[in-house]
Each structure stands twice: as C-alpha cells, then as structure tokens.
Structure 1
Amino acid sequence: MKVCHFFSTSNPLAFRIKIAHQIKDIRSRLDKVSADGTRFGLATINVESRLVVQRREMTYPDVDASSVIGRESDRKEIIKLLMQPHPRGDGDGDKSLCVIPIVGIGGLGKTTLAKLVFNDKRVDQLFQLKMWVCVSNDFDIRQIIIKIINSASTSPFASASSVTSHQENINNIDIVQLVSLLRSKLSGQKFLLVLDDIWNDDRAKWTELKDLIKVGTAGSKMIVTTRSKSISSMMGTVPSYVLHGLSIENCLSLFVKSAFKEGEEEKFPNLVEIGKEIVKKCQGVPLAVKTLGSSLFSKFELTKWEFVRDSEIWNLEQKQDDILPALKLSFDEMPSYLRHCFAYFSLYPKDFFFRNYDIASLWVSLGLVQSRNGNGNLENIAREYIEELHSRSFLLDFVDNGYIFNFKVHDLVHDLALYVAKEECVLVQSHTRNIPEQARHFSIVENDSLARTLFLKSKRIRTILFPIDGVGLDSYSLLDTWISRYKYLRILDLSDSTMDTLPVSIAKLEHLCVLNLTSNYKIKRLPHSICKLQNLQVLILTGCMKFEKLPKGLRKLISLRELSITTKQSVLSQDELASFNHLQTLDFYYCDNLKILFNGSQRLNFLETLMVQSCGSLESLPLYSFPKLQTLYLGDCTMLNLSLNNENPIRILKMKHLYLEKFPGLLTLPRWIVGAANTLETLVIRKLTNLEMLPEYLTAMTHLKMLDIRHCPQLLTLPNDIQRLTALEDLRIHGCPELCRKCRPQFGEYWPMIAHIKRISIGEQNEFSDIEG
C-alpha cells in the first residue's frame, strides 16, 4: 500500500512538484504581461483597494402622498415619536437631540415613509426648521455639513440663482468656517433633520457629526433611514422603528396601479388574477411590487404575465431603480468574507427554516470562514457572520435561543443569492434538466429529480446536499457513481436516504470534510474504509435508529471536530473517543442502550458543546471531564443523575449556555450550576413538570442574558433578588400559569421587578421554536 501511495497522485512530493510547475507557468505569463505593458508604454496608476460600490441615486424630500399605499399607520407612529418628549439622553447626558432610526431591507419604503413624515402638515407645526440630506455615499463630514447648510438655506421663496450662488460659496470655504456657518443656521432653532440612506458604521464619524449639530433647542429631532440594525442601534436614542412589508391587499393595489392605467384593470380580470399570484413572490416589498407591475404596463398578452409569474425575479429584466439593483447595493456593501458566504443560501429552497449550524457547517467546511488570530473557533466565527447578516436586514423570523439561532431568508434575498451564485450553485428540482459543467455545489429538493443524465457534464462538484426532510437518496449505484466522479467532494449530505451501508469506495474521497447521514433509517454499519478519511471534520449519524456500532479505528479520523450519533451500543470505545484531539461538538441522540458516557478518567480537553437527548439508560455524566465545555444540552434522560453526587466544593465551570428539558424528577435546579456563575449567559429550562422553585443562587449569575422557562406548571415564584441580574435582557416565561399571572405586564406583582428587562415574553402559548432537533 505504501508503494502504491508513493507512485500515486496522492503522494505529497508529486503534488508539490505539480504545483511548482503551475506556479512557474503563471509567473511566466505575468512577466510577459508586464513586458508588454512596458513595450506599449502603458502607465501604472494606483487604485484604492477598497471596493467601489455603485450607489443609488440621491433622494429628495418631495413625494405625492396620494400615490403611496399602505403606510398611513407607519406615518402616524413616526409622527407620534416626533411629538413625544425625548425619553432619555443619547448616552452622554444630552437631551436636546432625539434620533429616530427607521430600519429595513432595501426597497421596503424607508425613504418614502420619511418623505411622508417630512411633508406632513403636523410636522410643520412641530418644527421651525426642516432639513433633508441624502447621505448615501461615503460618510464625508464636510459634504454632509454642506448639504445640511444648503437644506437649511433653501426656502420656497429663495430664487434659484441665489441658492446656486450660495452653494458655490460654501463649497470653497474651509471646515472651520463651515462649522461656524452650520452652528449659526441651527442655533436657537427647533429643527427636524432627516439623514436618508446611511451606510456608515464608524461610530467615531457619527459622534463627530452629532456633536456638531447638537446646537438646536430642546425638542429638536433627527430621522435616519438605514438597512443595518447595527447602524440604527449605534445612531438611535430611541428603539429602532423596524419597517415591515405591506399586506397582500395593499401589494395588489400597488401592483394594479403600476401595471394598468386607472380603471383599465376592470377590462382584464384574468390578468388581475395572475397579478395576485405575482405579488405573493414580492413578500410585501413595495419596490418589488412596482418593479414587476411596471414591467407589465400596457402588456396584455397572457403569456407575458404567466412568464413573470413563473420566473424568478433575477431572471427578469431589471432597470437601475428596480428591486434587484436596489438589493445588490446591500450585497456590494458587505465585507468580502460575507459576500463569499452569501451565495450559498441559494442551495436551500425558499422559505427554508435554518438553524445556524446548517449553513455554518457548510461555510466552515468549504474554507470560507477564517479565524482572525489563527486560533478562534470557526463555528463561533460563522455564528458572528449570521448575526451580521441579520443586522443587515437579510434574515427573517430570527429567533435567538442562545447557542442556536433559527431564521429564514427573505424570498427576495434568496433571489439575490441565486443571482450572485449564477451557475456555481444549482438547486436540483423536477424541472432541472442538467447540472452545468461549471457547477461546484448542488442540492436536491425533490425525490423525483434524480435522473442519472443530470450529472453527465459535471465533474468538479464540491458539495452535495439533501436539505429537505423526507427527501434523500435511494440509489446505491448513483452514490457509487458520485464517489468515483467527484473526487474533490468536500460535503456529502445524505440525510433521509435509504441505504443499509455505504460503498467501501467512500475512502476515495480524500478531501471529504462533512459526511451527514441524518435519519437514514436503514443504515446499520459503516465500512471500515471510512476511517481513512483523514480530512473528515464532521460525522453525523443522528436519527439512524438501526445503527448498531461505530467502526473500529475511528481514532484515525484525526481531523474530526464534530460527532453526532445514534447507536444501539451500550458502551462506547472510551479510548477512541478520548483520542479525538480536535473534537469540539459531541451529540448523543436516542442512544437507548447507552449506560456510561465516560468513566471519569478520560478527558476531552477541546470539547465545547455536548448534547445528550433521549438516552433513557444513561445513568451518569462526568461533567468535569470536559474542562472547556461551553454549551450543554440535556433532555429526556430519565435515569440520569443530575446532582453529580453533590460534589463539594463545587468546581468552577466555563459554561455559557445550559439547556435542561424533560426531567420530571427535578424539584429544583442542581447545585453544580453555581460553578458557572461567572460565565453563564443562557439558561433554558423546559418541561420540568415538578420544578417548584428557582434557587436563590440564580441571582449570582452576573453574565446571564437570557432566561427561558417553559412548561413548568408547579413553578410559582421567581428569586427575590432577580433585579440583581443586571445583564438579563431576554426573559421568556410560558406554560407556567401561576408564574405567568404574577409576571403580567403592568398588573402582576413581579412586574416592577422585571419591567427593566429589554425583551419580555409572558404567556401560555409557546411562541418560540424548540431547540431540540
């Protein structure tokens, strides 16, 4: 075997020689280009390395209010905020300037809403001076000052020539004079300033501008519009006004207004019916509605309307001000690491319900996530990427459960991902006829789409996914074909497939990083050849209910960092598990026969996440065998002793996230949790049906941010000093009738103790998705 390996293309020495020749060839071609440049007298110019972004057109405050549909309630809410006194300072004790952010995805109508407010007669009565500034381009302090001065100087009575002359004059004066002129314009005035289309996330620049304009009288206010939640949080002195999409009824009205002349729609009821289906794909975004409606204006052929209805938006012709260019601005504004990751959302169908590890594992395994200092946890960095995408308004229905996020991607954002990915990523459906040669990643979302002819041209596939529950591979021969054809495969997701084993040839996939066999209900064993996959980082066997035994030699998987298993074994090979030097995530699911997880002498020194669910025979858990454990989920393990033998003194833990679910025997929480008093950020307790009290030590959790209590009907009280949880910003209590009554907003006896918490959800209904699964 060693001789065969030496003479194969896998020999590292042969690989280096091959790459060296390729590098030499590339350098030779670059030298030729340089020589040609000199010969033809081409000049070298320095180009700023920062990405040049195509911006939207400058906005203006004028609007025809009668043409705006569905924003009256939003206008009233913003005007109500303008009328209210400033509820609190802006962080430095100053109460003269209140900043109201309007935030939402591109094309949602933030600017239109700001225009409606700006031109409302009630606003004229509130402010002596109104100014509109479209920032849009780089946050240049000098240019913004000039725009504010120009806006303040412009009035209905000023002549065009005087305004032009004034602008020419201030463009030529220095910054000291500009600041002086700005202060003279604003001092003593109660003003409203609208800063439209903010992209700057540099707090220092914002603070500099804010300090310059805080010279108006008390009651002066600013409205800022932005697509970024983090920017709105940075700038706002009151909670952001998150703008939502229009209703279906309002979308249809706007669509009809864009597609027909007034009253013309009555002649074409069949087209209006198709229009109802078209607006559904717009997801309430007015610009998308207008884009598609305008594209059909004065076009009455049924086939053209059906084409728009049946096509993805990215396949339709777009003008500069249409929805896709508007959304692409947000894409262009992303840092490069996010742009590289974003396209892979196109591998999942619309309305897909993501858990953060679905996409994070994909990014990490494809090498798209890079540690900034060389030793960071890549999964945690991927989580930060997801949070940043949420901040940029790309994600919907975002639920933060501490360690796990649940979210969806807006349909229009999915269209943008398709547009960006082009033919590199392919979503295989029943109407897919082939996978192009340039494709690198494909996912299969329909069982009847697996014709062998699909794969004739593709040769360089890196990713194969089956993301939909119930859709999987049932062809052993097709899998064998994939293994022989796609030798550079990195991710092989065979979820919900129906094979009783894998081909021995799986060992040929030398570059494979992820092997996902979730819910393969027939598979019993893995071939021993799988132990040759030395680059394998993730092995998932969760829900493989007939799986009998892990293969011997698993310790050879030296790169493994995540292992999730369902097995009939009663004992695991302790030495093999302990030999995984890089294992960070370990998940046991429905291991009914498993009695001992570790005997206590072995240690997994790098393990950060441990999830044990529905292991009915498990009796003990040597928690202190995992010195770096940060996330622990324990659920429905009826024989498990959670007291850890009441060790004394209690050992220090580094845990950040703790989830306890379905332990009917617990009357109070185990004492060992005190060991995580200085680190615990998330505590979720669910279906502890006999839990009677929360321990007083809970108030010592100085870093606790989220407390989620579900379906604990015997729990009647909160700890007396719950106000000491100063970091707590998310409290959720559901399915606890008496405790919910005591915590009712405004009226409950506990309300004064919890009213300061940023997000509170009290009720009988479970509004949040479960963490399990």
Structure 2
Amino acid sequence: MAETFLFDIANSLLGKLASFAFDQVARACYVYHDLQGIKDTLSIITSLLLDAEKKKNQQHALREWLRQIQSICSDAEVVLDEFRLQVNLKQAVEGSGSSRMKVRRYVSSSNPIAFRFRMAHQIKDIRGRLNKAAADGVWFGLVKTDVEPRLAVQSREITHSYVDISSVIGREKDKEAIIQLLKPTHPHTGGDQSLCVIPIVGIGGLGKTTLANFLFNDQRIDQLFQLKMWVCVSDDFDLRKIVIKVINSASDASAASTFDSASSVAHQENIDHFDIERLQSHLRRKLSGKTFLLVLDDIWNDDRVKWIELKDLLKAGTSGSKILATTRSNLVASMMGTVPSYVLKGLDTKKCLYLFLKWAFKEGEEEKYPNLVEIGKELVKKCAGVPLAVRTIGSSLFSNYDLHKWEFVRDHGLWNSEMKRGDILPALQLSYDQMPSYLKQCFAFFSLYPKGFTFDSDEIINLFAALGLVQPRNGSEKIESIVREYIDELNSRSFLEEFRDYGYCFKFKVHDLIHDLAIYVARDDFVLVTSDTQSIPEQARHLSILENVLLDYTLIPKSKRVRTILYPVQGVGLKSKNLLHTWILRYRCLLYLDLSSSSFQTLPTSIAKLKHLCVLYIRDNSQIKTLPRSIFKLQSLQVLSLIGCTELDTLPEGFEKLTSLRQLYITTKQLFLSLDEFASLNHLQALGLYHCDNMKHLVSGAQTQLTSLEALYIQSCKSLESFPLHIFPKLNTLLIKDCPTFNLSFNYEGPTQRQRLRLKHLHLKSFPRLLKLPRWIEDAAETLESLKIRKFPNLKMLPECLTLMTHLKSLYIESCPQLVCLPSDMHRLTALEELRIYRCPELCQKCRAPSGEYRPMIGRIKRVSIGKH
C-alpha cells in the first residue's frame, strides 16, 4: 500500500507536466522541449518503480535508488512551482492597471528570456539526475510495468455463504432490519417491483459480508424465497463470469434441496465453455418461475451500463425476488439500489470488548489478567467499532500475557501489529489500492490532522490547490469543482463520515481507522510533531504541529524541501517570531503556512521571501497589531485569513498588489473598507468580515464594484448597519450572522433594471426585531438553492415568494417560535431535497410523522429532520 506512494508522486508530476497550464507557459517561455525531456525520462522511471518496490527487500541498493527518486521528484516539484510563479506573474501583468505599471512589473520581476536563463541550470540538473536514475534502474534489471497500480490491486479472498452463527456478535438488530426489507409487504420494496436491490454499504472490515451471511442462513429466508444464491463479485465485474457463478450457485441450491451434489458439480463443469447467449438462456431457465434471493458480495463496479446488463438478465425470476448487494462505495450503492442503502454502523464499545476478549484469550482466561483487560478496553476504542480491527488486534495478542507487548500495541498503533491476509490492514489496503493516483496523494494529507478533526471545504480546497494536487483539465475549469469531485469520490468509498453539505460549503470527518491508514501510507514525508517527537526526518516535506512544544532549532529539518507547515489544533500555535523568521529563510519554497493561534505582534518583514506561498492563515492571533507592507510582495498568495486577530488596528494600503488573491478573511478595528484597492483584484472570489466591531459601513462610497466577488460572509460585526448589495453583481453566496444593528430590510437597487440578484445560497441568523424576511429575497427566487434562517424570534410567516423558488434544494429553519405554518403550495418546490426544522414548536408538531398536518405535503422530500437538535 505504502509501496505505491512514490509511484503516485511521480505520476502526479507527469500529470503536472502534461497539464494545460504548464503546456501554455512552457511554450511561452521557450522551455517546452526541455520539460518534455524531463517528462519522457520520468515516464521511464515511473514504469520501473513498481518492479523496484517488489524487489527492494532483496537488494539494499534498490532502497537507496528509491530514496534518490523521491529526492529528485521533490526537487522537480520546486522547478515546476517556478513555472507556476511565471503563470501568476503573467496574470498579474495582464491584470494590473496602467501600461507603465505593466512594463515596470514585467521588467522588474521576470520575462520569458530571463526566466529561461534562470531556470536552465535547474532543468539541466533535474534531467541529468533523472537520466542517471533511469540508467541505474535498467542496470538493476528492473522490468517496465505499464499497468497503473490501482489496476493491479491485491485480490480479496473469495467469500462464501456459510457462517458460524455463534461467531456473529452485535448484528441482531441489523439482521432484523434487513429481513423486514426483504419481506414482500415492506412499503419500500413493494411486490409490484420485479427485482428489488438492497445495498449494504460501509468501510472495509465493518462486517458487511458477515451480516449478509447471517441473513442468508436465517431460516426465515428459506420461507421467503424459493431459491437463494451467493456470488462473490469483488473487483472483477465480468458479465460472463458472474452469470456462470449465479448459475452454479443456483445449481448448488437446487442440488442441496434434492441432496444431489453430483448434479451441481456436473453443471459447473459443463457450462464454462458456453457463450453468453447460451449462458443467459440457461440462467433464465434456472430463475424462471421462482422467487429468489441473490447475494452479490463485495461490489466495486461503478459502470452503470455493466450493471444494467446484468440486472436485465436477472429479471427472469418472479415478482418479489431480491438482490442483496454489499459494497464499500456509496456511489455503487446509489447506482444499484432500488431502495435507500442500508448504511452499516460500527459496533458499540461493549460488544467490541466482548469480541476482543473472545479473540485475545481462551474462554474464561481473561479473569486472570485484569490489567491486560484494562489495556484491552483502550485498544478497543482505537478500533472505532470495526469488528475486523477488533479481531485483528485481539488475535495478534492471543495467549501473549507480556504487559510490555500489550502496552506497545496500545501506544504505537494498530498498524505496528503483525498482520496476516484477511486482517484489517489488508482489508483497507484493498480500498486504498483501488484509488486512482491523484486521489491517493490527496488522501495522504488527512494524516496531518488529528483524529476527529472536522474538515472544512475551504480549508481542504486551499490545501490541495496550494500544493498542486489538483490540475484543471482545461483552461477554465475551477479548482473548487475538481476538489469537490475528489471529496465526493472519497466519500463514496466510505472513507469519510459525518459528511454535511451546506450548499456553499461542506464539512466532514475521517473515520479513525482511515486516519490511521493515511498515517501509514504517508511515510516520512508527512510528520506530526508532538511533545514525544525526538527528531524529524530530513526528507520531511509537510509538518503538522499538534501540541504547544518548544521547537528546538536542531529539531526542525535543515532540508529546504518543506512545503507545508500548519497548526491544526485550536489553541496550539507558534509563540516565537524568531523561529518563524528562521522558517522563512530556510523554507523558501513553502506553499502553505498556517499560523493559527500564534502569538506575535507583527509578521517579520522577511515574509516577502516566500515567493511561492499560496495560503497564509494567521487566525486567532490576539496579539498581532500590524501587517508589514512586505506582505504585498507575495505575488502567488491566493488565500489570506486574519480571522480572530482582534487587536489588528488596520489593514495596510496596497492590497491591489496581491493580484492572485482569491479569498480574504478579515478581523480588524478599522471603521470601513476602501474598495478602490480591492476593485483591481480580478480573482477575488470570497470576502469575509468577522468580529469587525468598529465597522459601521462596509465601504466608503458605493461607486466601485467588485465584479469577481462570489461569496460574502459577515459575522459578529456588532456595529455594522448596512452595505450596498449592488456593488457585488456576481454574488451567489451571502451569509449574515449575529450582527445586531444590521438593517436587513434595505432596498436592493441594481444599476440597471435588467440586473437581478443571482444568489444561490442565503444564510441569515439572529434578527430579533424582524417580523418578515426582506423583500429583496424575491429578486433571488429564481436562483436560490439553499435558504437557512436561524433565530428570528418574531418571524411569523415565510415569504410568499418561497414557492417560486423552483431551484431550492435545502431549506433550514431554526429557532423561529412564532412561525406556525408552511405555504400550502409547498409541492411546487420540486427540487427540494432537504428540509430541517428545529426549535419551532407548533410548526414542528405539524410536520412530525406520522400524523402531522403537513406530513403528506413534505413526505416526498428525501431528507426531512423535524425537532431534533
């Protein structure tokens, strides 16, 4: 699993070299052929990497060769970042004001000729090292492998339908729930459907196959179905092979019912040479006139065409036939299922402990070792409710009563246990192996955050974008859209949990065992710094500091390859401005610098030396008072967050120089913002004001427009009275929260009658004096997708335009106790997928199932949550 990570890094570099952006700038700067040489040699090395990983334990020199490749790749990334800087410079030149300004910036910073000379020796060095590495690889006798590792994944062992009932722990409720779904009278699986498909979905090791076994062998299943079949599909979704397996399973079932096992064997031997036409005819005869249950275990296929082909062949059974499918992928479950997926949860702590003791001790033996049982309780917590993890760690300690061994496993993690085929690590390895290379690299960055961390979409998008993990497939595709695709794919693979989509943003967590997996694959490139950290590997490139530790200057790497430094834990931050200065001088190629919860009064002026820096977070620094003007030399800076810097007196003039800036989040003591300097920021998409207590008006004057701004966040600005909405013509997201003096009922006056609000997401909170929502919301009725209103204690009715919001997907109402009714024509909101109503007593009563007055009206909405906290 970790063995393919270097392949993924090299593959990512190839992707960057082939990307639209690098192609354009390479041609413009006359270095296209030089970079093509690097690309060609890197392709050769990439094809040798998989063979090298297989043989590295047999040849010590190969391990050194792999380390050299990793070093070259790291240096090559820096070279490619120089090209990204050139792209940013080109954009800055094109977006700056006067012609004189353009010439001055162009000459003083760079031009294609100067850039080529400056980069020539670096490109030559990289090419030379790569050519030598390629020659060494051939000398080692390495064989080229053209198959991407995700296509050469380890195979899962074939499953079967038998299970020892006594070994199944804690799944009785799950079994009963699914048996209800299998009954023909269940409302979600009515008898009018010729073939109902029920997916069971969850991460690897959770017990999906065990649960399916448990069901398959229940006597009530024999009463519900005339024929039951079991097929392990795994990652080879070959139509012909699956049909043969179904026929053979049907034959086994028929033979079992007549005690004619010889018949079954004969069928299995005779049909292998059948073509698909004869096979489908044979299958239809097997299923015709029978009500069957077919378990399709371990489905990975997400090709809907292949699934429909198989499903059509299986429709030969009578009405009431069912397919029970197990999968790790929410996407696959959604594609296959005719009913909502049954999402399998982890076992509770009590059942996990019972299971652990069963695997770690002989029966009754645990009573002799109460000290080990106490450690076992801690180990069980690490398993996060996953039965296979419990079994793995329990069996690894079976009949071992050495206290130190148990403490080692407890303190050093599950992955340090010796594992065998079928244990939790190989089980999750299969999920990891199935990922494409671009997703594996992104996945590794989850290791930089503590367990239980709530990821925010902006943060993860900015991280992936800054580090070049996301490459637009054409010149216009948005990075945010691509990252959302990546996260959706990880979520579909059951790697994420508590995923919440708010329309304009999303939040999620990573399952504890998946977090352990991320740490395992990340290797020495990614380092979590705690009070226990004795040293940091020289090759470390991404540092995450989780505890307030006094960082010794000898501890931090001397390598210049560090690209990421972050403080992800609230309240843990950098206390030493001198150390920051050292970092700046040493790590000139930093891309992502998160100084949250730091405590210094100003940034060092040397910050300007971080010319590669894309993201700078200085959040929750209660001491910082000023920003140095040198910050405006950060031409690559895309994100600047100053949220929670409550002592920041004012922002320095000169923001128009940050021409790459996409997001700006501010806490400041100043009275207003001057939009003149922001107007030239052609890439500024998001602006946020938080705890700007002195600010009465958002801007001085209202003539300037921010034509690129798409999102405006205003929170806890206690003196803010209003702002001119028309200066944001492309605004699609507006959040206003906890601003007690804000006049929400201002009139929206666009510059022309044709220009209307194009809001997609509107979230409002804490407007105690408002009796009804403002009229300007009507102007967004045709575009609004999410509407969230909270803490309107005197709001008595929803706006009449609500039922005109035909694009509305999400409606959230909370703490509006005077609100007692919904519009009678709510049925017109055909796009509405989610309705949440909390702390609205009378309205909740009318919406609550099953007898609520409004229940028939809202029953068709996919996700309804009423009166829950």
Q: What is the TM-score of this pair, normalised by structure 1?
A: 0.94
Q: Provide the rounded CA distance (Å) in 1 between the counterparts of 2:804 and 2:586.
A: 58
1:411 is aligned to 2:411: no
Tell me if the contact between 1:650 and 1:674 (Cα under 8 Å) persists in the aligned partners. Answer: no
Per the TM alignment, residue 618 of structure 1 is displaced from its structure 2 partner at its CA by 2.6
Q: Provide the rounded CA distance (Å) in 2 between the counterparts of 1:27 and 1:292.
A: 43
Q: 2:842 aligns with which of 738, 753, 772?
A: 738
Aligned to 1:529: 630
Q: 2:758 aligns with which of 654, 675, 681?
A: 654
Tell me if the contact between 2:726 and 2:748 (Cα under 8 Å) persists in the aligned partners. Answer: no
Aligned to 2:174: 74
Q: 1:713 aligns with which of 817, 838, 852?
A: 817
Aligned to 1:337: 438
Cα displacement string for residues 452-499 of structure 1 (whole angstroms, at most 9, x for unaligned residues):
332044431101111111111111111111111111111111111110
Supply the AA of the counterpart residue of 1:722: M
Q: Provide the rounded CA distance (Å) in 2 between the counterparts of 1:33 and 1:602.
A: 61
Q: 1:654 to 1:536 in 2, by over 3 A?
A: same
Per the TM alignment, residue 663 of structure 1 is displaced from its structure 2 partner at its CA by 1.5
Tell me if the contact between 2:409 and 2:416 (Cα under 8 Å) persists in the aligned partners. Answer: no
Q: Runs of 4 or more off by more than 6 Å in structure 1? A: 1-10, 33-37, 42-46
1:117 is aligned to 2:220: no
Aligned to 1:629: 731
* C-alpha RMSD of matched pairs (Å): 2.6
Aligned to 1:62: 162
Per the TM alignment, residue 4 of structure 1 is displaced from its structure 2 partner at its CA by 12
Q: 1:44 to 1:317 in 2, by over 3 A?
A: closer
More displaced 10-residue stretch of structure 1: 93-102 or 693-702: 93-102
Per the TM alignment, residue 10 of structure 1 is displaced from its structure 2 partner at its CA by 13
3-state SS of 1:447 partner: coil
Per the TM alignment, residue 84 of structure 1 is displaced from its structure 2 partner at its CA by 3.4
Tell me if the contact between 1:689 and 1:712 (Cα under 8 Å) persists in the aligned partners. Answer: yes
Supply the AA of the counterpart residue of 2:587: Y
Per the TM alignment, residue 450 of structure 1 is displaced from its structure 2 partner at its CA by 2.4
Tell me if the contact between 1:56 and 1:136 (Cα under 8 Å) persists in the aligned partners. Answer: yes
1:696 is aligned to 2:800: yes
**Identity across matched positions, percent:** 61
Tell me if the contact between 1:5 and 1:11 (Cα under 8 Å) persists in the aligned partners. Answer: no
Gaps of 5+ in 2: 1-103
Q: Provide the rounded CA distance (Å) in 2 between the counterparts of 1:756 and 1:7.
A: 60
3-state SS of 1:572 partner: coil
Aligned to 2:321: 220
After TM superposition, list the pairs within 5 Å mapping 1:502-651 onto structure 2.
502-598=603-699, 599-645=701-747, 647=749, 651=755
Per the TM alignment, residue 94 of structure 1 is displaced from its structure 2 partner at its CA by 6.8
Cα displacement string for residues 388-416 of structure 1 (whole angstroms, at most 9, x for unaligned residues):
22221111222222223232211100000
3-state SS of 2:228 partner: strand
Per the TM alignment, residue 98 of structure 1 is displaced from its structure 2 partner at its CA by 1.0
1:16 is aligned to 2:119: yes
Per the TM alignment, residue 230 of structure 1 is displaced from its structure 2 partner at its CA by 1.6
Cα displacement string for residues 158-193 of structure 1 (whole angstroms, at most 9, x for unaligned residues):
666654442232111111001100111111111000
Aligned to 1:138: 236
Per the TM alignment, residue 747 of structure 1 is displaced from its structure 2 partner at its CA by 2.4
Q: 1:301 aligns with which of 402, 409, 412?
A: 402
Q: 1:684 aligns with which of 782, 788, 796?
A: 788
Per the TM alignment, residue 617 of structure 1 is displaced from its structure 2 partner at its CA by 2.8
3-state SS of 1:148 partner: helix
Aligned to 2:87: none
Q: 1:227 to 1:44 in 2, by over 3 A?
A: closer
Q: 1:7 to 1:210 in 2, by over 3 A?
A: closer
Cα displacement string for residues 585-621 of structure 1 (whole angstroms, at most 9, x for unaligned residues):
1101111222332433222222121101122333332
Supply the AA of the counterpart residue of 1:15: R
Q: Provide the rounded CA distance (Å) in 1 between the counterparts of 2:208 and 2:131.
A: 53
Cα displacement string for residues 631-687 of structure 1 (whole angstroms, at most 9, x for unaligned residues):
111112233332332549685232221101112222111222222223211100011
1:172 is aligned to 2:309: no
Q: What is the TM-score of this pair, normalised by structure 2?
A: 0.83
Q: 1:160 to 1:33 in 2, by over 3 A?
A: farther
Q: 1:47 to 1:505 in 2, by over 3 A?
A: closer
After TM superposition, list the pairs within 5 Å mapping 1:361-372 onto structure 2.
361-372=462-473
Cα displacement string for residues 683-732 of structure 1 (whole angstroms, at most 9, x for unaligned residues):
00011222111012101111111100111122222122112111111111
Supply the AA of the counterpart residue of 1:75: K
3-state SS of 2:271 partner: helix
Supply the AA of the counterpart residue of 1:359: I
Q: 2:547 aligns with which of 411, 425, 446?
A: 446
3-state SS of 2:762 partner: strand
More displaced 10-residue stretch of structure 1: 378-387 or 461-470: 378-387
Gaps of 5+ in 1: 768-773
Per the TM alignment, residue 423 of structure 1 is displaced from its structure 2 partner at its CA by 0.9
Aligned to 2:383: 282
1:355 is aligned to 2:459: no
Tell me if the contact between 1:85 and 1:219 (Cα under 8 Å) persists in the aligned partners. Answer: no
Cα displacement string for residues 415-443 of structure 1 (whole angstroms, at most 9, x for unaligned residues):
00001111111111110111111111011
Tell me if the contact between 1:523 and 1:544 (Cα under 8 Å) persists in the aligned partners. Answer: yes
Q: Provide the rounded CA distance (Å) in 1 between the counterparts of 2:557 and 2:145.
A: 46
Aligned to 1:770: none
Aligned to 2:565: 464
Q: Provide the rounded CA distance (Å) in 2 between the counterparts of 1:169 and 1:26.
A: 58
Q: 2:291 aligns with which of 185, 190, 196?
A: 190
Aligned length: 760
Per the TM alignment, residue 86 of structure 1 is displaced from its structure 2 partner at its CA by 6.2
More displaced 10-residue stretch of structure 1: 677-686 or 164-173: 164-173
More displaced 10-residue stretch of structure 1: 494-503 or 21-30: 21-30
Supply the AA of the counterpart residue of 1:100: I
Aligned to 2:476: 375
More displaced 10-residue stretch of structure 1: 482-491 or 287-296: 482-491
Q: Provide the rounded CA distance (Å) in 2 between the counterparts of 1:7 and 1:685.
A: 50
Q: Provide the rounded CA distance (Å) in 2 between the counterparts of 1:296 and 1:437.
A: 34
Cα displacement string for residues 181-225 of structure 1 (whole angstroms, at most 9, x for unaligned residues):
011111111100000000011111111111110110111111000
Q: Provide the rounded CA distance (Å) in 1 between the counterparts of 2:748 and 2:418.
A: 68
Q: 1:579 to 1:6 in 2, by over 3 A?
A: closer
